[in-house]
Amino acid sequence: MHDQSLGVKLSKVSVERAAAVFADLDLGDPRRTQRVIRIVASLASNPEASFPKAMGNEADIEGAYRLMNSSRVTMAALNDAHAEVTARRAEEAKVVLAIHDSTTCVFAHADPEAIGYTNTGKAGFLVHYALVVSADEKRPLGVVHVEEVVRRKAPRKRSSSKAKKKKRTGFETVRDPNRESLRWNRGFAAAHERLQGTEVIHLADREGDNYDLLAQALSDGCRFVIRARTLERRVESTDGESQTLYELVLGAQGVLTREVDLPPRKAAGAPKTAHHPRSARLARLDFSAARVILPRPRIQPVNLPKQLEVNVVRVWESSPPPGEAPIEWVLYTTEPIETPSDVAAVVDLYRARWLIEECNKAIKTGCRYEKRQFDSLHALLTLLALTLPVACEVLALRAACRRTPTAPATAVLTPTQLQILVVLGSRKLPRNPTVRDALWAVAALGGHMKTNGEPGWLVLHRGMAELLAYEKGWRAREKVTGLSISR
C-alpha cells in the first residue's frame, strides 16, 4: 500500500525560505544550527516522505534523531527564531493579518502517558498558534506565537447525574491563571508585541469570543474581527435598549447583498461544534451592521471594564436551498462600518481566517506531522517547530496556485509527472498546461469532479498518491527498457 500524502513539490526558493527561518538561531553550537537548517531543508524538499527517507543517508538520519531528543534544542528557541523572521517579513508587508486558532494533534503510535491526552483519550496535545499573512495577497509569512496544551490526565467519563457546579459571583477577583482558555489572550498579546510597528488585524473564530479577550484587545489598541459564539448574550444598543445580541442584529437593516460561491463541505467535529455538511452552491448573502455595548458578565472578575463597545456585522443567507443549512455569521470588530464597502471589507477579512484551517491541514496532511514516529513529547514539539516553516511554504504554494493559476505547470509538478498525467490521467491536459490545469488533473486522479468546485486537500493528496504510485512504475519501466515517453 502506498502512502496517501499530499505530494507537494516545493521550489528551490521555497525550500531555502523555510530553512532560512533558522539562519540566526543560537543553540550554543553552530553545528546544531546547521543541523537544524539541513533537517528543515530536507523536510521542505520532500514534505510527504517518511522522516528517515526525507533525511537521506544513515549519518543524517542518526544526526536528526539525536537533535530531536537533545535537551539543548528546545521548541521555545526554535519558535522564537521563527517569530523574529516572521516579524521582519510582516514589517516589509506593512499590513498583515494575525490569524489565531487551536488544533489537536493526535499520534496513534504514541503513549498518552508520555505525550498527553486529547479530549477523546487518545495520545496527543492541543497546539495554539498565530499565523501571519499579508493583508493584500494573503501570502503566509510565518508564525509569531506557538503554545502547546498538554493534558496529563485522561478525560473523565460523563456522569449521568447532575454535576455540581461551582458558584461564581461578580465579586470574583482570582481565577486560575493557567486555565486553557487564556491561550487566546496570550496569543493576541504575543502577536501584538512581536508585530510592533506593523499594522495588524487579528482574526479568531468563536472560541475567541470571550469577554476578557475582547477587553484585553481593546485595551491594547488591537484591531480585530472575532466571530460571536453566544448570540443569547444580553447586550445594549447605543440608545440604551437591553436585548439579546441576536435580537439586536436581527433588527439591523441590511446594507448590501452579495453572491458568493460556497465549496462543498462534509460534516466534521464534535457534536456541539460540528460543521453542517453542504453541497457546493452560489449563495446570496445579506450584510448588516450595528454598534453594540457588551455589559461585563457576572462570572468575569470585577477588575475588567464594566462594559465594552464594539461594532457588530451580521452575514446571513435568507433563502437557502431546500435541505441546506443557511449561512450565518455574527462578527465583533473594531473595523469601521459606516459604508456598505466598510461592512463588506469586514466580512472579507473574516473569510481570510480559513487560511489557518488550511495551514492545519498542511501541517498534518501536507507535512505528515501526525505520522512521524517519535515517542517523547520533547521530540514531537521540536519537530513541530521545525515543521511549521515548511507548512507555511506548502500553504503559500497552494495559495499561489489559486492566486496565479496561469503560471506554468512545472511550478508544481516535474516534467515526468506531467508526462504521466498526459498518458494515464483521466482529465486531458493542454499542450502548455498551467498550474490550474495540472492540479485539476491531479485532483481527477483522486476522484474529483469539476462540478464539485475547487479541489481540496484530501482529494489532492489522494490524487498525488496515485500519481506517485504511477511514477514509481514509470521510472521502473524506463530503467528496464531504457525508453522515455515524451509528448
Stretch 209-226: mean pLDDT: 97
What is the per-residue pLDDT for 424? 87
What is the per-residue pLDDT for 459? 74
Mean pLDDT highest for which of 153-157, 306-310, 395-399?
306-310
User: What Cα–Cα distance (Å) separates residue 386 from each residue in 78, 173, 468?
Assistant: 7, 40, 25
What is the per-residue pLDDT for 173? 45
Largest CA distance in the chain: 83
Mean pLDDT highest for which of 5-19, 347-361, 445-459, 471-485?
347-361
Number of residues assigned to the chain: 487
CATH class of this structure's domain 409-481:
mainly alpha
What is the per-residue pLDDT for 461? 65
* Model pLDDT for residues 224-245, shown as the tens digit of each residue: 999 999 899 999 988 888 999 9
Query: Is CATH 3.90.350.10 the right assignment for the domain spanning 96-155+178-193+200-270+279-362?
Result: yes
* Model pLDDT for residues 173-183, shown as the tens digit of each residue: 456 667 888 99
Lowest mean pLDDT among 168-182, 271-285, 466-480: 168-182
Stretch 267-284: mean pLDDT: 63
Closest C-alpha to 439, from 487, 397, 396:
397
Answer positive or negative: Cα dihedral of 92, 133, 436, 350.
Answer: negative
Residue 211 has pLDDT above 70, yes or no: yes
Residue 72 has pLDDT above 60, yes or no: yes
* Model pLDDT for residues 17-63, shown as the tens digit of each residue: 899 999 999 999 999 999 999 999 998 887 878 899 889 889 999 99
* Model pLDDT for residues 385-401, shown as the tens digit of each residue: 999 999 998 888 777 66
Stretch 316-321: mean pLDDT: 88
Q: Mean pLDDT over all residues of the chain?
A: 86
Using an 8 Å Cβ cutoff, are 136 and 348 in contact? no
Residue 210 has pLDDT above 80, yes or no: yes
**pLDDT bracket for residue 152 (50, 70, 90):** very high
What is the per-residue pLDDT for 404? 72
Domain ranges of the chain: 96-155+178-193+200-270+279-362, 409-481
Stretch 329-346: mean pLDDT: 96
**How far apart are alpha carbons 134 and 152 in whole angstroms?**
37
What is the per-residue pLDDT for 270? 47
